[in-house]
Structure 1
Amino acid sequence: MSTLTRPERAKPNILITGTPGTGKSTTSADIAEALGFAHLNVGDIVKSEKCYESRDEEFDAYMLDDDKLIDEMEPMVADGGCVVDFHSCEMFPERWFDLVLVLRASTEVLFDRLTERNYSEKKREENMTAEIMQVVAEEARESYAEEIVHEVQSNTVEDMEANVERVKQWAEAWKANNP
Protein backbone atom coordinates (compact mmCIF):
# COMPACT_ATOMS: atom_id res chain seq x y z
CA MET A 1 0.00 0.00 0.00
CA SER A 2 1.29 3.42 -0.92
CA THR A 3 2.04 5.96 1.77
CA LEU A 4 1.39 8.74 -0.71
CA THR A 5 -0.87 11.45 0.62
CA ARG A 6 -3.27 12.81 -1.97
CA PRO A 7 -5.15 16.06 -1.48
CA GLU A 8 -8.69 15.66 -0.21
CA ARG A 9 -11.08 16.07 -3.11
CA ALA A 10 -14.80 15.58 -3.44
CA LYS A 11 -14.22 13.71 -6.71
CA PRO A 12 -11.28 11.65 -7.96
CA ASN A 13 -9.07 12.43 -10.94
CA ILE A 14 -8.49 9.74 -13.54
CA LEU A 15 -5.67 9.49 -16.06
CA ILE A 16 -6.29 7.58 -19.28
CA THR A 17 -3.01 6.85 -21.04
CA GLY A 18 -1.69 4.56 -23.74
CA THR A 19 0.09 4.48 -27.06
CA PRO A 20 -1.49 6.71 -29.72
CA GLY A 21 -4.34 4.80 -31.35
CA THR A 22 -5.41 2.78 -28.32
CA GLY A 23 -8.68 4.69 -27.89
CA LYS A 24 -7.78 7.19 -25.17
CA SER A 25 -9.86 10.13 -26.42
CA THR A 26 -12.97 8.06 -27.08
CA THR A 27 -12.73 6.20 -23.79
CA SER A 28 -11.92 9.37 -21.83
CA ALA A 29 -14.85 11.27 -23.31
CA ASP A 30 -17.20 8.37 -22.56
CA ILE A 31 -15.95 8.06 -18.96
CA ALA A 32 -16.19 11.82 -18.40
CA GLU A 33 -19.75 11.83 -19.72
CA ALA A 34 -20.76 8.79 -17.65
CA LEU A 35 -19.37 10.32 -14.45
CA GLY A 36 -20.23 13.96 -15.12
CA PHE A 37 -16.51 14.83 -15.03
CA ALA A 38 -14.47 17.23 -17.16
CA HIS A 39 -12.53 15.65 -20.04
CA LEU A 40 -9.07 17.21 -20.32
CA ASN A 41 -7.43 16.29 -23.62
CA VAL A 42 -3.82 17.23 -22.91
CA GLY A 43 -2.96 17.48 -26.61
CA ASP A 44 -5.62 20.17 -27.00
CA ILE A 45 -4.30 22.04 -23.94
CA VAL A 46 -0.74 21.87 -25.29
CA LYS A 47 -1.87 23.50 -28.54
CA SER A 48 -4.35 26.05 -27.16
CA GLU A 49 -2.09 27.25 -24.33
CA LYS A 50 1.16 26.90 -26.32
CA CYS A 51 2.73 24.53 -23.78
CA TYR A 52 5.50 23.53 -26.15
CA GLU A 53 9.02 24.59 -26.97
CA SER A 54 9.06 23.59 -30.63
CA ARG A 55 7.51 21.28 -33.18
CA ASP A 56 9.08 18.15 -34.66
CA GLU A 57 7.87 18.19 -38.26
CA GLU A 58 9.25 14.72 -39.02
CA PHE A 59 7.04 13.14 -36.36
CA ASP A 60 4.27 15.77 -36.56
CA ALA A 61 4.56 16.30 -32.81
CA TYR A 62 5.15 19.10 -30.31
CA MET A 63 8.16 19.16 -28.01
CA LEU A 64 6.47 19.83 -24.69
CA ASP A 65 7.28 22.48 -22.14
CA ASP A 66 6.45 20.23 -19.18
CA ASP A 67 6.65 23.01 -16.59
CA LYS A 68 4.26 25.27 -18.48
CA LEU A 69 1.86 22.39 -19.05
CA ILE A 70 1.84 21.42 -15.36
CA ASP A 71 1.35 25.05 -14.32
CA GLU A 72 -1.54 25.37 -16.78
CA MET A 73 -3.24 22.14 -15.66
CA GLU A 74 -2.72 22.40 -11.87
CA PRO A 75 -5.81 24.57 -11.23
CA MET A 76 -7.89 22.43 -13.61
CA VAL A 77 -7.33 19.23 -11.61
CA ALA A 78 -7.11 20.72 -8.11
CA ASP A 79 -10.72 20.03 -7.13
CA GLY A 80 -10.98 16.61 -8.78
CA GLY A 81 -13.60 15.42 -11.20
CA CYS A 82 -11.28 15.27 -14.22
CA VAL A 83 -10.53 12.60 -16.78
CA VAL A 84 -7.11 13.45 -18.22
CA ASP A 85 -6.24 11.95 -21.59
CA PHE A 86 -2.64 11.77 -22.86
CA HIS A 87 -0.20 9.31 -24.42
CA SER A 88 2.49 10.00 -21.85
CA CYS A 89 2.17 10.18 -18.09
CA GLU A 90 5.53 10.52 -16.38
CA MET A 91 5.46 14.32 -16.21
CA PHE A 92 2.23 14.54 -14.22
CA PRO A 93 2.51 14.71 -10.42
CA GLU A 94 1.47 11.48 -8.73
CA ARG A 95 -0.76 13.41 -6.31
CA TRP A 96 -3.07 14.39 -9.17
CA PHE A 97 -4.51 10.95 -9.84
CA ASP A 98 -6.52 8.35 -8.01
CA LEU A 99 -6.73 5.96 -10.97
CA VAL A 100 -4.41 5.48 -13.95
CA LEU A 101 -5.88 3.42 -16.77
CA VAL A 102 -3.40 2.21 -19.40
CA LEU A 103 -5.17 1.26 -22.61
CA ARG A 104 -3.61 -1.57 -24.61
CA ALA A 105 -4.37 -2.69 -28.17
CA SER A 106 -3.25 -5.60 -30.29
CA THR A 107 -0.72 -4.76 -32.99
CA GLU A 108 -3.21 -5.59 -35.75
CA VAL A 109 -5.83 -3.21 -34.37
CA LEU A 110 -3.27 -0.52 -33.62
CA PHE A 111 -1.72 -0.74 -37.09
CA ASP A 112 -5.13 -0.26 -38.71
CA ARG A 113 -6.02 2.68 -36.47
CA LEU A 114 -2.72 4.46 -37.09
CA THR A 115 -3.01 3.83 -40.83
CA GLU A 116 -6.54 5.33 -40.81
CA ARG A 117 -5.05 8.44 -39.16
CA ASN A 118 -2.58 8.74 -42.05
CA TYR A 119 0.44 8.41 -39.77
CA SER A 120 3.71 8.31 -41.68
CA GLU A 121 5.40 4.92 -41.86
CA LYS A 122 8.09 6.12 -39.43
CA LYS A 123 5.57 7.47 -36.90
CA ARG A 124 3.42 4.35 -37.20
CA GLU A 125 6.47 2.11 -36.70
CA GLU A 126 7.59 4.09 -33.65
CA ASN A 127 4.15 3.79 -32.04
CA MET A 128 3.82 0.09 -32.90
CA THR A 129 7.20 -0.57 -31.30
CA ALA A 130 6.20 1.44 -28.22
CA GLU A 131 3.07 -0.69 -27.81
CA ILE A 132 4.95 -3.97 -28.30
CA MET A 133 7.61 -2.90 -25.80
CA GLN A 134 4.93 -1.73 -23.33
CA VAL A 135 6.58 1.69 -23.06
CA VAL A 136 3.53 3.55 -21.74
CA ALA A 137 2.55 0.76 -19.35
CA GLU A 138 6.07 0.67 -17.92
CA GLU A 139 6.13 4.46 -17.61
CA ALA A 140 2.85 4.34 -15.68
CA ARG A 141 4.09 1.58 -13.36
CA GLU A 142 7.27 3.56 -12.65
CA SER A 143 5.44 6.88 -12.11
CA TYR A 144 2.45 5.92 -9.95
CA ALA A 145 1.58 3.71 -7.01
CA GLU A 146 1.04 0.11 -8.10
CA GLU A 147 -2.49 -0.08 -6.73
CA ILE A 148 -3.81 2.76 -8.90
CA VAL A 149 -2.38 1.59 -12.26
CA HIS A 150 -4.54 -0.79 -14.29
CA GLU A 151 -3.92 -2.08 -17.82
CA VAL A 152 -7.00 -2.86 -19.89
CA GLN A 153 -7.60 -4.03 -23.46
CA SER A 154 -9.05 -1.54 -25.92
CA ASN A 155 -9.41 -3.46 -29.16
CA THR A 156 -13.15 -3.31 -29.74
CA VAL A 157 -16.16 -1.13 -28.99
CA GLU A 158 -17.17 -3.79 -26.47
CA ASP A 159 -13.78 -3.46 -24.73
CA MET A 160 -14.21 0.30 -24.53
CA GLU A 161 -17.75 -0.01 -23.16
CA ALA A 162 -16.58 -2.53 -20.57
CA ASN A 163 -13.77 -0.18 -19.55
CA VAL A 164 -16.26 2.66 -19.03
CA GLU A 165 -18.40 0.37 -16.87
CA ARG A 166 -15.36 -0.72 -14.81
CA VAL A 167 -14.42 2.89 -14.17
CA LYS A 168 -18.01 3.75 -13.19
CA GLN A 169 -17.92 0.93 -10.62
CA TRP A 170 -14.50 2.07 -9.41
CA ALA A 171 -15.78 5.66 -9.04
CA GLU A 172 -18.75 4.47 -6.98
CA ALA A 173 -16.41 2.56 -4.67
CA TRP A 174 -14.07 5.57 -4.45
CA LYS A 175 -16.98 7.80 -3.45
CA ALA A 176 -18.16 5.30 -0.83
CA ASN A 177 -14.64 5.18 0.67
CA ASN A 178 -14.09 8.95 0.52
CA PRO A 179 -17.27 10.51 1.93
Structure 2
Amino acid sequence: MSAETRRRPNILITGTPGTGKSTLGQEIANRLQFDFIEVVGKEVREHGLVEEFDERLNCHVLDEEKLLDHLEDRMNSDAGGVIVDYHGVDFFPERWFDFIRENIECEIFGSLLEEAKDSYKEEIIHELQSETVDQMHANVDYVCRLASQWRPAR
Protein backbone atom coordinates (compact mmCIF):
# COMPACT_ATOMS: atom_id res chain seq x y z
CA MET A 1 0.00 0.00 0.00
CA SER A 2 1.05 3.62 -0.36
CA ALA A 3 0.19 7.10 0.84
CA GLU A 4 -2.45 7.10 -1.91
CA THR A 5 -4.48 4.41 -0.14
CA ARG A 6 -3.68 5.08 3.54
CA ARG A 7 -6.52 6.51 5.59
CA ARG A 8 -4.20 8.10 8.17
CA PRO A 9 -0.59 9.27 7.85
CA ASN A 10 2.43 7.36 9.11
CA ILE A 11 4.94 9.46 11.05
CA LEU A 12 8.64 8.93 11.75
CA ILE A 13 10.00 10.75 14.79
CA THR A 14 13.76 10.90 14.74
CA GLY A 15 16.52 12.68 16.60
CA THR A 16 19.39 12.13 18.95
CA PRO A 17 18.90 10.06 22.11
CA GLY A 18 17.42 12.04 24.99
CA THR A 19 15.59 14.68 22.93
CA GLY A 20 12.10 13.53 23.90
CA LYS A 21 11.19 11.39 20.88
CA SER A 22 9.43 8.73 22.94
CA THR A 23 7.53 11.24 25.07
CA LEU A 24 6.39 13.16 22.01
CA GLY A 25 5.50 10.04 20.02
CA GLN A 26 3.50 8.48 22.83
CA GLU A 27 1.60 11.73 23.46
CA ILE A 28 0.72 12.11 19.77
CA ALA A 29 -0.26 8.43 19.52
CA ASN A 30 -2.53 8.76 22.57
CA ARG A 31 -4.19 11.90 21.27
CA LEU A 32 -4.73 10.62 17.71
CA GLN A 33 -5.24 6.96 18.65
CA PHE A 34 -2.31 5.91 16.43
CA ASP A 35 -0.03 2.93 17.00
CA PHE A 36 3.32 3.82 18.58
CA ILE A 37 6.47 1.82 17.83
CA GLU A 38 9.54 2.59 19.91
CA VAL A 39 12.15 0.74 17.86
CA VAL A 40 15.02 0.77 20.36
CA GLY A 41 12.88 -0.29 23.28
CA LYS A 42 9.99 -2.68 23.46
CA GLU A 43 9.77 -3.63 19.77
CA VAL A 44 13.36 -4.85 19.47
CA ARG A 45 13.39 -6.64 22.83
CA GLU A 46 10.05 -8.40 22.45
CA HIS A 47 10.68 -9.59 18.90
CA GLY A 48 14.40 -10.37 19.01
CA LEU A 49 15.31 -7.96 16.23
CA VAL A 50 19.01 -7.96 17.04
CA GLU A 51 22.08 -9.03 15.10
CA GLU A 52 24.47 -9.49 17.99
CA PHE A 53 25.53 -8.16 21.36
CA ASP A 54 28.32 -5.59 21.28
CA GLU A 55 30.50 -6.38 24.31
CA ARG A 56 32.50 -3.17 23.96
CA LEU A 57 29.42 -0.91 23.98
CA ASN A 58 27.42 -3.27 26.23
CA CYS A 59 24.35 -3.18 23.98
CA HIS A 60 22.51 -5.11 21.30
CA VAL A 61 23.05 -4.24 17.64
CA LEU A 62 19.80 -3.79 15.71
CA ASP A 63 19.25 -6.11 12.74
CA GLU A 64 17.79 -3.61 10.28
CA GLU A 65 16.58 -6.27 7.82
CA LYS A 66 14.71 -8.15 10.56
CA LEU A 67 13.16 -4.87 11.73
CA LEU A 68 12.02 -3.94 8.21
CA ASP A 69 10.53 -7.41 7.67
CA HIS A 70 8.82 -7.21 11.07
CA LEU A 71 7.26 -3.79 10.37
CA GLU A 72 6.40 -4.28 6.67
CA ASP A 73 2.73 -5.27 7.04
CA ARG A 74 1.96 -2.62 9.65
CA MET A 75 3.62 0.15 7.67
CA ASN A 76 1.93 -0.84 4.39
CA SER A 77 -1.54 -1.20 5.89
CA ASP A 78 -4.37 0.84 4.36
CA ALA A 79 -5.22 2.00 7.88
CA GLY A 80 -1.96 3.93 8.40
CA GLY A 81 -1.78 5.75 11.71
CA VAL A 82 1.61 4.43 12.79
CA ILE A 83 4.23 6.50 14.62
CA VAL A 84 7.79 5.13 14.58
CA ASP A 85 10.39 6.44 17.06
CA TYR A 86 14.01 5.85 16.05
CA HIS A 87 17.24 7.85 16.07
CA GLY A 88 18.08 7.17 12.41
CA VAL A 89 16.26 7.41 9.10
CA ASP A 90 18.41 6.09 6.30
CA PHE A 91 17.24 2.47 6.14
CA PHE A 92 13.46 2.96 6.34
CA PRO A 93 11.66 2.89 2.96
CA GLU A 94 10.53 6.37 1.90
CA ARG A 95 7.07 5.06 0.99
CA TRP A 96 6.36 4.21 4.63
CA PHE A 97 6.12 7.79 5.92
CA ASP A 98 3.99 10.84 5.25
CA PHE A 99 5.67 13.05 7.87
CA ILE A 100 9.12 13.00 9.38
CA ARG A 101 9.57 14.94 12.55
CA GLU A 102 13.22 15.73 13.27
CA ASN A 103 13.87 16.38 16.95
CA ILE A 104 16.97 18.55 17.11
CA GLU A 105 18.52 19.36 20.46
CA CYS A 106 21.71 21.11 19.34
CA GLU A 107 23.61 21.97 16.16
CA ILE A 108 26.22 19.25 16.58
CA PHE A 109 23.53 16.71 15.71
CA GLY A 110 22.57 18.47 12.46
CA SER A 111 23.82 15.44 10.56
CA LEU A 112 20.57 13.62 11.45
CA LEU A 113 18.60 16.36 9.73
CA GLU A 114 20.84 16.09 6.67
CA GLU A 115 20.37 12.32 6.70
CA ALA A 116 16.59 12.82 6.71
CA LYS A 117 16.81 15.32 3.85
CA ASP A 118 18.96 12.90 1.86
CA SER A 119 16.52 10.03 2.43
CA TYR A 120 13.06 11.65 2.11
CA LYS A 121 11.22 14.41 0.26
CA GLU A 122 11.96 17.69 1.99
CA GLU A 123 8.29 18.72 2.14
CA ILE A 124 7.48 15.90 4.58
CA ILE A 125 10.31 16.77 6.99
CA HIS A 126 9.44 19.03 9.92
CA GLU A 127 12.28 20.20 12.16
CA LEU A 128 11.11 21.13 15.66
CA GLN A 129 12.89 22.16 18.85
CA SER A 130 12.14 20.25 22.07
CA GLU A 131 14.17 21.96 24.74
CA THR A 132 11.32 22.94 27.07
CA VAL A 133 8.01 21.50 28.23
CA ASP A 134 6.19 24.32 26.41
CA GLN A 135 7.98 23.42 23.17
CA MET A 136 7.04 19.77 23.65
CA HIS A 137 3.35 20.65 24.08
CA ALA A 138 3.50 22.96 21.05
CA ASN A 139 5.14 20.18 19.03
CA VAL A 140 2.43 17.69 19.99
CA ASP A 141 -0.23 20.20 18.90
CA TYR A 142 1.64 20.91 15.64
CA VAL A 143 2.09 17.26 14.65
CA CYS A 144 -1.50 16.40 15.61
CA ARG A 145 -2.71 19.32 13.47
CA LEU A 146 -0.59 18.11 10.52
CA ALA A 147 -1.94 14.57 10.90
CA SER A 148 -5.54 15.82 11.12
CA GLN A 149 -5.15 17.90 7.95
CA TRP A 150 -3.31 15.19 6.01
CA ARG A 151 -4.90 13.82 2.85
CA PRO A 152 -3.61 10.90 0.77
CA ALA A 153 -1.52 11.88 -2.24
CA ARG A 154 -3.42 11.38 -5.47
TM-score (norm 2): 0.89
Where do residues 1-179 of structure 1 align in structure 2 (5 Å cutoff)? 6-43=3-40, 44-79=42-77, 80-106=80-106, 132-175=108-151
Q: Give CA deviations for 1:123-142 in whole Å, capped at 9, x if unaligned.
A: xxxxxxxx604121111111
The amino acid that maps onto 1:29 is Q
Report deviation, 1:57: 3.3
| Distance of 1:139 and 1:61 partners within structure 2 | 24
Structure 1 residues 70 and 155: CA distance shift in structure 2, 3 A: same
User: What RMSD in Å do the two structures reach over aligned CA positions?
Assistant: 1.9
Q: How many residues align?
A: 150
> CA 1:83–1:105 in structure 2 vs 1: closer, same or farther (change >3 Å)?
same
Where structure 1 has 5 or more consecutive residues not aligned to the other structure, the ranges are 107-130
Q: Are 2:4 and 2:153, in contact at CA under 8 Å, matched by a contact in 1? A: no
Higher relative contact order (CA 8 A, sep 6+): 2
Tell me the percent identity. 44
CA drift of 1:65 comes to: 1.4
Structure having the larger proportion of residues in helix = 1
Q: Which runs of 4+ in 1 moved over 6 A?
A: none
Q: 1:7 to 1:64 in 2, by over 3 A?
A: farther
- Residues 32-56 of structure 1, C-alpha deviation per residue, up to 9 Å, x if partnerless? 0111101111112122111111122
> Tell me, which stretches of 5 or more residues in structure 2 are unaligned?
none
Q: Secondary structure at the match of 2:150?
A: helix
1:119-160 per-position Cα deviation (integer Å, ceiling 9, x unaligned):
xxxxxxxxxxxx604121111111111100111101011111
Distance in 2 separating the partners of 1:24 and 1:74: 22
Q: Distance in 2 between matches of 1:37 and 1:56?
A: 33
Structure 2 letter corresponding to 1:69: L
SS in 1 for 2:51: strand
Larger radius of gyration: 1
Structure 2 residue identity aligned to 1:71: D
Alpha-carbon deviations, 1:65-124, whole Å to 9, x = none? Answer: 111110001112222111110111111100000000000114xxxxxxxxxxxxxxxxxx
